[in-house]
Structure 1
């Protein structure tokens, strides 16, 4: 994953095409504001897909796609907790938060009482 894809001399032009497609989507959405929202969203999705496809053809896009594939592989290796473990851990966290909240409330009340004694 540390090996980078070779940089093509056309990468700059590809990024310009990506920027142009995004600009066309933004301007087109404003220009066709009176059209149906469905048509505008479909147009934006189509332009975003085209921009994504062009971006993936660059060196940075290829390395990004390699990162995505690698992270999917790593996610498959994760041992996820069972439902029971998740519920138990959540209950421990909730109980700890309640205990700390009570301690802070008590400390705040005590300090408020102490200050009111000093101030009068």
Structure 2
């Protein structure tokens, strides 16, 4: 019985934490602009950053926050596995794409001109 109570209250607790995080962010953003004429921009920016950090910490306490953080860590790990092309490989690929696009454009222009000539011939305008 106890485990059912814990399972049923966890989503409500998570929802409250996420709502608090969103409310904190909205309030911080609102105060950033509300106090624009009265408080120094550096102080307002530091306050906004601090509120963002607290909101992220609150969001991390939820199951959704932990799963999002796990996704970010996994994406970072996969990004490190990527073998990026060298400058020369990138330049060669770019030039090949440009050549293929140019050849395709010339072929389409030639086909269009041929079809235009055929239509003019059939309609008696050519």
The counterpart of 1:74, out of the listed 67, 72, 78, is 78
State the partner residue of 2:98: 94
After TM superposition, the structure 1 = structure 2 runs for residues 1-120 of structure 1, keeping only pairs within 5 Å, are 8=10, 9-34=12-37, 35-108=39-112, 118=123
Rg larger in structure: 2
SS of the residue corresponding to residue 83 of structure 2 reads coil
Quote the RMSD (CA, aligned, Å): 2.7
Give the TM-score taking structure 1 as reference length: 0.73
SS of the residue corresponding to residue 17 of structure 2 reads helix
Q: Which moved more, 1:34-43 or 1:75-84?
A: 34-43
Give the TM-score taking structure 2 as reference length: 0.70
Deviations 1:69-93 (A, max 9, x none): 1122222222222222222111111
Name the CA distance, whole Å, in 2 between partners of 1:69 and 1:115: 61
Which structure features the higher share of helix residues? 2
Question: Offset of 1:44 from its aligned partner?
Answer: 2.0
Name the CA distance, whole Å, in 2 between partners of 1:20 and 1:110: 65
SS of the residue corresponding to residue 10 of structure 1 reads helix
Structure 2: 5+ residue stretches without partners: 1-6
